Amino acid sequence: MKYLHTMVRVTDLDASMRFYRDALGLELVHQKEYPKGRFTLVYLAAPGDHDAQVELTYNWDPEEYTGGRNFGHLAYHVDDIYQACQRLMDHGVVINRPPRDGHMAFVRSPDNISIELLQAGEALAPAEPWASMPNTGNW
């Protein structure tokens, strides 16, 4: 058995691509439109690790999705948690749980999916502005 991907439904494909690809830094693996089914599938993965993918499902007909927090979260190792959080902030993403401990942070996608970022290896030394930054909203 092999893990393939996790699927999340998204309401705005462009906003989701700006978040997952541009801000979070995932790579586009495959994208395909299904006109008869009226949906688009987009597969993304961390650079160099296409074995674990996230599938964005965009249904062309508007739907309201609730309970994003019930999904749980996606988690990614990052080489430098402070640099990753700064990149996200530079793209307008709110850091809901800042990496005060140099180890863990949480952000949310445009569809309210919680994303956990974990420092690869040992935690970094606490540093400002992260060490004194408060939580914002739910994570």
Cis geometry, peptide bond prior to residue 129 (ω within 30 degrees of 0): yes
User: Annotated active-site positions, please?
Assistant: 116
In three-state secondary structure terms, 114 is strand
Residues 25 and 139: their CA atoms lie apart, in Å, by 20
Instruction: Fill in the DSSP letter of residue 111.
Output: T
Instruction: State the Rg of the chain over Cα.
Output: 16
